Amino acid sequence: NSGGLVYAVRLVFGSSMVMALLLGFDAILRRRDVLSHRAWMMRAYALALGAGTQLFTGTVESLLVSQQTELSRGLALGAGWLVNLAVAEWAIRRL
């Protein structure tokens, strides 16, 4: 059940993880900015762990919709990554 929307969501969040890694390495290697490096690495890690959170968002999806659609699947996948990013941003703000 992987259509264009699911592919696009994966592409956006996968690219975001790569960008977070690149920005994190740039912060530490070129600017020696440890706090910025830590924040970008936390974001990248949160995105990497999105698949685990998607287990829970997929379960919520299956409870809320009777027939899974590409839209509901894309929203459930995106929600997994967004939950992780929200927690990471909350933790970053507490640094």
pLDDT in tens, 14-72: 999 999 999 999 999 999 999 999 999 999 999 999 989 999 999 999 999 999 999 99
Instruction: Tell which phi-psi region holds residue 36, choosing left (phi > 0), alpha (psi between -120 and 50) or beta.
Output: alpha
Name the pTM for this structure: 0.90
Which contacts (CB < 8 Å, 24+ apart) does range 18-24 have? 20/44, 20/47
